[in-house]
Amino acid sequence: MTRVAVATAFGGPEVIAIVDEQLAEPAAGQVLVEVKAIGVNPIDYKLYSGAFGSDVSTLPLHLGNEASGVVVAVGDAAQGRGGPVSVGDEVIVKGVGGVYAEKVLVPAEAVLPKPAELDWESAAGLLGVAGTAFDTLETVGIAAGDTLLVHGAAGGVGSIVVQLARARGARVIGTARAINHDALREYGAEPVEYGPGLIERIRELAPDGIDAAIDAVGTDEAIDVSLELLSDTSRLVTIAAFGRAAKDGFPSVGGANPQSLERRSNAALSLIAQAAAGEFTVTIAKTFPLSDAAKAHAELQSEHPRGKFVLIP
Ligand SMILES: NC(=O)c1ccc[n+]([C@@H]2O[C@H](COP(=O)([O-])OP(=O)(O)OC[C@H]3O[C@@H](n4cnc5c(N)ncnc54)[C@H](OP(=O)(O)O)[C@@H]3O)[C@@H](O)[C@H]2O)c1
């Protein structure tokens, strides 16, 4: 048996229930992981919000797609992303649904080794934001000498975009609330406040213009300002304004896009190694017990502290 958090209906965080479910022994190619920490991402609540459909036959919805934990049982021929998987291995689980749980039974290929340098919380919250950030940088081809504008630069994804872009030698201008500007400077970005007058503030900082823009928030303001400033719209990418990307003809990336999935999956081991080496940092804002998943989701949907939310079973 395992305790899991599921969405029992479509709606707000109040639809989340904590229930007990049966767990089978691992079959060939499967691994049973005792979960230590779970990364919380906006997609977790968007899935039961109705934004991606509301087919009741999919209920209860099992939530969450990234976690860290310890392998407690393995089936035959359990080959993980870093080689054979054994009982006792400390791992990251990524790319399977339903990890809001005390224990998860997953295909071995969803398991990657967790370096000792990463604590459980950082490991659990790493790959969703870092994979997305890497995907955006590749999509707009960020290289040394570029001036990059990042919208939502203090966010889970945005903060990694900033750090990885700086490591590539780009200059980064990032939008955030004033309270987050010191943190942006620490990540290596020049901060600007979003809101009315944004385009003038950016022009003041970069009179020769910007070369690329990454939207990690999805507002019309972020898209309108980027389109106005960029001559080449192939160098704007969004992770959230999918309607605008389709309408205005610029790229978007997402976990449901096969090219994004492949790119993120191929980069996963190297992103883990870079994080373990301290080349970028995942900021953890808050931890909640798994039983408070609804509270975490409600808070994540309002103005919230900078950094990732993590659930502890
Ligand atoms: N397509 C993908 O593959 C993918 C992957 C991950 C996430 N996403 C999506 O990307 C978005 C961000 O995800 P996240 O995990 O980074 O969330 P997050 O940690 O909550 O960050 C969002 C950031 O947006 C900023 N923000 C809020 N209102 C803003 C505004 N009006 N203008 C500019 N910035 C504003 C906030 O910064 P301040 O506190 O400074 O206001 C906040 O830090 C979500 O919609 C999520 O669903 C998509």
Distance 156 CA to ligand 1 centre (A): 7
Residue 192 near residue 175, CB atoms below 8 Å: yes
Whether 218 lines ligand 1, by a CB cut-off of 6 Å, is yes
Residue 135 neighbours by CB under 8 Å, 6+ apart: 253, 260, 263, 264, 267
**Atom number in ligand 1 closest to CA 41:** 15
Per-residue pLDDT at 234: 96
Per-residue pLDDT at 76: 95
Nearest CA to ligand 1 atom 47: 42
Other beta carbons within 10 Å of 170:
22
Whether 245 lines ligand 1, by a CB cut-off of 6 Å, is no
pLDDT per residue, tens digit, the chain (313 aa), is 999 999 999 999 999 999 999 999 999 999 999 999 999 999 999 999 999 899 999 999 999 999 999 999 999 999 999 999 999 999 999 999 999 999 999 999 999 999 999 999 999 999 999 999 999 999 999 999 999 999 999 999 999 999 999 999 999 999 999 999 999 999 999 999 999 999 999 999 999 999 999 999 999 999 999 999 999 999 999 999 999 999 999 999 998 899 999 999 999 999 999 999 999 999 999 999 999 999 999 999 998 889 999 999 9
Topology alike, domains 2-125+282-312 and 132-248? no
Nearest CA to ligand 1 atom 32: 194
Q: Comparing C-alpha atoms, which of 189, 181, 155, 191 is closest to residue 309?
A: 155
Per-residue pLDDT at 311: 98
- Give the integer Cα–Cα distance in Å for 118 and 276: 6
Whether 217 lines ligand 1, by a CB cut-off of 6 Å, is yes
Whether 113 lines ligand 1, by a CB cut-off of 6 Å, is no
Topology, domain 132-248: Rossmann fold (3.40.50)
Per-residue pLDDT at 64: 98
Domain boundaries, the chain: 2-125+282-312, 132-248
Whether 47 lines ligand 1, by a CB cut-off of 6 Å, is no
Other beta carbons within 10 Å of 97:
14
pTM across the whole model: 0.96
Angle at the Cα of 300 (from 294 to 304), degrees rounded to 5?
135
Whether 284 lines ligand 1, by a CB cut-off of 6 Å, is no
May I ask the CATH architecture of the domain 2-125+282-312? Alpha-Beta Complex (3.90)
Whether 120 lines ligand 1, by a CB cut-off of 6 Å, is no
